[in-house]
């Protein structure tokens, strides 16, 4: 008997499209998520994040296109998909009058986990999300951050391989956000594949290994998180300070074909090189060879958030 290694791809969508009446919410989305990824799904309000996650978790059918989740087609193999995923919707009803343990036991029963095993499973997931001490508490008495963590515990009860989390950190204070992110890191260490959506790119920058950015239902970037800045910014921007002769320095730089733009800002020059990965030594060489005195040369630290805003500016619905 031959044993096939697990396919590296966890999710593959092909031209996934969804319309709501006249609204095109998803427009031929081609997305690949690999097993073991902690994948950031980023887009502003109305970009199509929830629509995509609902389709991948089989709650919604696509208008056209296909998707496979862990090798199962989301339409033909919907039952199989549901067994291997944990989907945490953006808004989930909390059963305020239930106790934490009762709530998890209920979902354990829904997933047909034998009663004898459920107590251990509940203890394990509560420990993972740091709610062990709240086992007997009423859900209505938990803070929002704790309720979100309980939501995570709920999707872990049946030990799914893939988690689809729709903005699990939204509405949380910074500390509670960090706690959620820590749990996600731990889950990844345990071998889970995770997709997490957010409209805040910088929130996901530190924990995700790969991200995609969608806007108006269209994919505008997918790849490693480090690649976002290089691919999204139209050029590399540097700041230059020269000893004297600002106007001379501007002329020298403008004569250089690799320099796309030079703008004096107060006593400094903002220099944009053509191409995102421009070499700043070119700026130094041009100035020094032209007789200018170079005092400082540094890269513009445009944050990922600024890059994101620039890319999506004016395109949010």
Ligand X SMILES: Nc1ncnc2c1ncn2[C@@H]1O[C@H](COP(=O)(O)OP(=O)(O)OP(=O)(O)O)[C@@H](O)[C@H]1O
Report the candidate in 152, 154, 83, 146 with the shortest Cα–Cα distance to residue 122: 154
C-alpha–C-alpha distance, residues 301 and 233, integer Å? 12
List 16, 47, 48, 50, residue binding Mg ion (CB under 5 A): 50
By CB under 5 A, tell whether 222 contacts Mg ion: no
C-alpha–C-alpha distance, residues 220 and 183, integer Å? 28
Place of tokens 């740091």: 130
Residue 32 and residue 40 in contact, taking contact as beta carbons nearer than 8 Å: no
C-alpha–C-alpha distance, residues 42 and 167, integer Å? 10
- Neighbour-count burial of 86, counting CB atoms closer than 10 A to its CB (0-12 exposed, 13-18 middle, 19+ buried): buried
Q: Which residue number has the CB closest to Mg ion?
A: 50
Beta carbon of residue 4, minimum distance to Mg ion (angstroms, whole number): 36
Among the candidate windows 87-95, 151-159, 185-193, 292-300, which touches Mg ion by CB under 5 A?
87-95
Among the candidate windows 3-11, 43-51, 156-164, 304-312, which touches ligand X by CB under 6 A?
43-51
| Residue 45 contact, options Mg ion, ligand X, none, Cβ 5-8 Å cut-off depending on partner type | ligand X
Residue 276 and residue 238 in contact, taking contact as beta carbons nearer than 8 Å: no
The residue (of 21 and 191) whose beta carbon lies closer to ligand X is 21
C-alpha–C-alpha distance, residues 25 and 216, integer Å? 7
Which residues, 6+ apart, have CB-to-CB distance to 168 below 8 Å?
Answer: 88, 148, 151, 152, 180, 184, 196
Among the candidate windows 48-56, 123-131, 256-264, 304-312, which touches ligand X by CB under 6 A?
48-56
Beta carbon of residue 224, minimum distance to ligand X (angstroms, whole number): 22
The residue (of 202 and 226) whose beta carbon lies closer to ligand X is 202
By CB under 5 A, tell whether 198 contacts Mg ion: no
By CB under 6 A, tell whether 59 contacts ligand X: no
The residue (of 43 and 160) whose beta carbon lies closer to ligand X is 43
> What residues between 72 and 91 interact with ligand X by CB under 6 A?
90
Chain residues in the site for ligand X (CB under 6 A): 20, 23, 25, 43, 45-51, 90, 199, 317
Residues that bind Mg ion (CB under 5 A): 49-50, 90
């Amino acid at each position: 008997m031959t044993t096939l290694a697990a396919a590296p791809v966890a999710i593959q969508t092909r031209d996934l499209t969804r319309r709501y009446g006249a609204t095109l919410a998803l427009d031929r989305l081609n997305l690949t998520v690999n097993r073991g990824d902690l994948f950031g799904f980023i887009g502003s309000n109305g970009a199509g994040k929830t629509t995509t996650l609902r389709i991948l978790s089989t709650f919604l059918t696509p208008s056209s296109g296909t998707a496979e989740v862990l090798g199962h087609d989301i339409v033909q193999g919907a039952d199989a998909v549901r067994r291997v995923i944990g989907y945490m919707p953006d808004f989930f009803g909390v059963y305020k009058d239930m106790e934490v343990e009762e709530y998890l036991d209920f979902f354990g029963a829904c997933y047909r986990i034998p009663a004898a095993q459920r107590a251990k499973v509940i203890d394990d997931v509560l420990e993972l999300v740091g709610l062990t001490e709240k086992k007997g508490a009423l859900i209505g008495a938990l803070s929002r951050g704790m309720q979100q963590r309980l939501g995570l515990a709920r999707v872990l009860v049946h030990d799914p391989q893939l988690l689809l989390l729709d903005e699990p950190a939204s509405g949380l204070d910074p500390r509670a956000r960090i706690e959620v992110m820590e749990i996600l890191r731990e889950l990844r260490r345990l071998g889970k594949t995770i997709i997490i959506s957010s409209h805040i790119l910088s929130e996901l920058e530190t924990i995700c290994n790969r991200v995609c950015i969608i806007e108006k239902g269209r994919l505008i970037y997918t790849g490693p998180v480090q690649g976002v800045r290089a691919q999204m910014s139209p050029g590399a921007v540097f700041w230059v300070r020269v000893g004297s002769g600002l106007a001379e320095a501007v002329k020298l730089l403008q004569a250089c074909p690799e320099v796309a733009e030079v703008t004096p800002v107060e006593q400094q020059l903002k220099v944009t090189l053509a191409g995102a990965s421009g070499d700043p030594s070119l700026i130094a060489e041009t100035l020094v060879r032209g007789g200018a005195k170079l005092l400082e040369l540094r890269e513009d630290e445009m944050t990922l958030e600024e890059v994101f805003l620039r890319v999506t500016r004016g395109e949010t619905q």
